[in-house]
Chains A and B, each alone.
Chain A
Amino acid sequence: MKSRRLISYLILLSLMPFLLAGCWDRRELEDQAFIITIGIDKLENNQSLITFRIGIPSKSGLGQAGGGGGGGGKGSIAEQASLLTTIAAPTIPAAMLLASGYIDRELSLLHTKAVIFGEEFARDGVTNALGILTRNRELRRNIFVAVAKGNAYEFLRNNGPDLEKSYSKYWEGVKLMESAEAIHPGTLLHQFITDAARPDKQPSMIYLAINKNAEGDPKEIELPPSFKQGKLAIKAGEIPRKGGNKAEYLGTAIFKSGKLIDFLNLTETRSLLMLQGNFKKTFYFLLDPKFEGKQISFDIKQGSPPAVKVSIKGDQISIKEELFLEGDLIGFQSQAEYASSPQALERLNQETSKELEQRLMEVIKKGQKLGLDIVGYGTYAKRNFLTNAEWENFDWIDKFKDAEINLKVNFSIRRTGMQGKQPEILTY
């Protein structure tokens, strides 16, 4: 019984120093400024141009506050509710230090959603920047990493989301588009640095760009030539459109030795994600194999993860990949009997598989040409080795260039939609 009292004294006594010393890590919310997006661009002499997008709390409720937000300021609500500033500094922490010279709140990276590298910076190599990004306590490994065409600050400056009231929500929406439509790889920092460190898979990033032709008269829209071939070979910044947010996220930036070397367009990006087995669903359209000039559209889903088998004989690598894709028929323009005759559907399946195989091969070949294993066949190849040393001595990347690849796509349409036979329209 007495010991209880002793314990209570002990606790009390132990708390005394705290009372006197105060609280070191306590920071009020209203004393902090939360950086939502960081942009990094290249300057000469190992210096960078660093852009911060900082949320402004007092304006973050603009939407509810009535019409005041829409009418008064310029730009979207998200733009008004945030501050954009660009600083020339050697590193991100240095830029934060400099920024505190005119932003009277402590800058915090705790809520950073995305780090965007300017194209030029990325071509020079992102290794230096990554060192800081991973060591910092406040930045976590689940932020987005992306490459912006031109300069990152330009992208940040022109990115005004229309639907979202904040940039963090915007980036979450961008992430959503990866699983919903597979239009970009949705790379997180963690994935990028993991892939960058290993020989068996090469890293990639989201590709961003500002569409310079997004404003103006819809009559001026130019049709990209690839559309006519049933392909969507466009990247961010090339969407033929007028109106809406100028910032686009479409395609993949691929890296070699930490340096940006090439991009993949929309079709290639989707092919890559299919090959990697990292994709859930996408809308896809092809030219009708039977009817000239007509198109067929599907929703393609991944039935089960791709089966990959890598066999190595000496220096000769042969890779067998089998994909299992399922599709829902969304629509076709011709009068074919895809939705009413199983034989026609089966033929369509085979034709589509062949077409897909061809498109997927293009991506692999592109990688091989660049000396990269962007799909990550190396992860499967490791099964052929017993120890890490053997695997590292094999020099996978170098030998992958000449690898022989057999691709097989099993595509089958499961559902044909609400309509049976194509509705007929009488011509008279």
Chain B
Amino acid sequence: MYRLKEGKISSNGIFGIIVILIITKVFLGIPRVAVQEGGSASWLLLLMSAGIASAGVFIIVKLIKKFPDKNIVDIAETLWGPPGRVIVAAVMASIFLYISTVVVREFAETILTTVLPRTPISIVTLMFVITMVLGAYNGLEVITRSVTLLIPFILVGITSILLLAGSFIDLNNFFPLLGTGIDKLVVHAPGRSSIYIDIVMVTLIISNVNEPEKIPQQVWKGFLFSTAVFVVVQLFYVSILTIHAGSKLYIPLFQLARIIYMGRFVQRIEVLYVFVWFFTGALQLTLTLYGAVTALSRGFKIPIYQPLLFPLGLLVFSLSFVPQSTLHAVSLDMNILRKYGSLIGFGVPAALLLTSVVLRKGGKTGEKQKTN
């Protein structure tokens, strides 16, 4: 029995998935938070956190290499038995559910503050949730293809913001070079490595990928590319807005779009970026919802995940109204998820890898044992 709607994706698709999953945060609070924590060295902070996160990525890649035909839930079962399977599935599902909930609220608030101030938030959220459910219903193949199709447009969008607002660049804003100081950077960088925890999604979809042996390469590529996007955006952000204004802006990238002033015609065009906003946000949310649903369906051995979609979508929709205000939603994201998330996101794979090393199970070692 093979699954219909999930579909198979080529390993190239992994790259797009990872890039979309990670770079969404550029549109939310990350540039601002990075400036708050790193000052003029915020780009360095992001580089450092990427360096720390690369350890997590290394663990994930190692896990994939060790169990090339199993997803994380199956690995948990082989190592920890059925309870492990259920626990890991539940943890994964809740991470992705949390991300979906918080991010959908943040994006809805973004849209509300920027272009649709009088529209009820429920409508905007509903439209996001509809897209999520629809995309996830069509399966990974469709999502991945849409991602491949739209990523160029998203990147062109980001680049055009940076270049058009580039008339305000002042390179002196990179100084003082170490920003808030190396001690603070070191303190904050590990927390911000949580930006990258969405990569753990890859461990859920291994069985959908056509050439699993090529996954690690694509994971690294996606990770490095997203880091590059983060750093480049941060460099532009700091040099255009300075650390003083940059640490106080809500929806940082949108503010960059708002100050675009290139003569009489090219100004006031920030609403055009709603397309980029929506595409990125909705694709990321689709992927996270898909992650939550597959984690559940695989964890509990439900052959298909589609029936879970609608209830989970409803759950995301209603949970997204729990935070009282924009501020609460942002702090749920930036002060909790993107600060301590790596403990779980990278912690679970690390624990699994450790167990497999201790028990000498899985992949090559397992085969050796058999032959012996």
- Chain A residues at the B interface, C-beta cutoff of 8 Å: 3, 7, 10-11, 14, 17-18, 21, 24-25, 110, 137, 140-142, 172, 188, 190-191, 193-194, 197-198, 200, 379-380, 382-383, 385-391
Contacts and interface: CB of A to CB of B under 8 A. Distances in A.
Contact of B39 (A188, A194, A388): A388
Given A14-B126, A141-B259, A190 B175 contact: no
B258 A140 contact: yes
Which residue among A24, A140, A200 has the maximum number of chain B CB atoms within 10 Å of its CB? Answer: A140
B5 interface: yes
B119 A24 contact: yes
B242 A25 contact: no
A386 B120 CA distance: 47
B39 A387 contact: yes
B173 to A, nearest CB: 7
Contacts of A389: 180-181
B218 to A, nearest CB: 29
Contacts of B268: 110, 140, 142
A10 B137 CA distance: 11
B172 A17 contact: no
Contacts of A7: 134, 137-138
A194 B245 contact: yes
Contacts of A10: 130, 133-134, 137
A379 B170 contact: yes
Nearest to A391: B176
B258 A141 contact: yes
B255 interface: yes
A24 B116 contact: yes
B58 interface: no
Contacts of A141: 255, 258-259
B260 A197 contact: no
Nearest to B39: A388
Nearest to B246: A194
B170 A25 contact: no
Contacts of A24: 116, 118-120, 123
Contacts of B137: 3, 7, 10
B180 A387 contact: yes
Interface in B140-178: 168, 170, 172-173, 175-178
8 contacts: A10-B134, A24-B118, A140-B258, A188-B259, A382-B175, A383-B175, A387-B179, A389-B181
B181 A198 contact: no
B40 interface: yes
Given A24-B119, A388-B243, 9 more contacts: A3-B138, A10-B137, A25-B119, A140-B270, A142-B261, A190-B168, A379-B175, A383-B175, A387-B39
Interface string B175-212: 11111111000000000000000000000000000000
B27 to A, nearest CB: 17
B159 to A, nearest CB: 20
B114 A137 contact: yes
B264 A172 contact: yes
Contacts of B241: 194
A190 B123 CA distance: 33
Contacts, number: 101
Contact of B176 (A140, A188, A194, A388): A388
A221 B71 CA distance: 88
Contacts of B264: 172
B123 A17 contact: yes
B123 to A, nearest CB: 7
Contacts of B177: 383, 386
A272 B127 CA distance: 52
A183 B169 CA distance: 22
Secondary structure type dominating chain A contacts: helix
Contacts of B255: 141
B318 interface: no
Contacts of A3: 5, 137-138
Interface in B239-280: 241-245, 255, 258-261, 264, 267-268, 270
A426 B216 CA distance: 88
Nearest to A388: B39
B113 A137 contact: yes
A380 B40 CA distance: 14
A382 B170 CA distance: 13
Contact of A137 (B117, B120, B170): B117
A142 B179 contact: no
Given A3-B5, A387-B181, A388-B176, A25 B168 contact: no
Nearest to B242: A194
The 6 closest A-B pairs by CB, nearest first: A197-B244, A379-B172, A382-B175, A387-B181, A142-B261, A385-B176
Contacts of B245: 190, 193-194, 197
Contacts of B181: 386-389
Contacts of A110: 268
A197 B39 CA distance: 14
A172 B266 CA distance: 12
A197 B247 CA distance: 11
A98 B245 CA distance: 32
A387 B176 contact: yes
B259 A190 contact: yes
Contact of B126 (A17, A190, A193): A17
Contacts of A391: 176
A197 B259 CA distance: 17
A387 B175 CA distance: 8
A106 to B, nearest CB: 11
Contacts of A190: 168, 245, 259
A142 B256 CA distance: 11
B296 to A, nearest CB: 21
A391 B40 CA distance: 11
B173 A379 contact: yes
B243 to A, nearest CB: 7
Contact of A194 (B5, B179, B244): B244
A28 B120 CA distance: 19
Nearest to B262: A142
A197 B246 CA distance: 11
Given A24-B120, A25-B118, A387-B39, A198 B258 contact: no
A385 B175 contact: yes
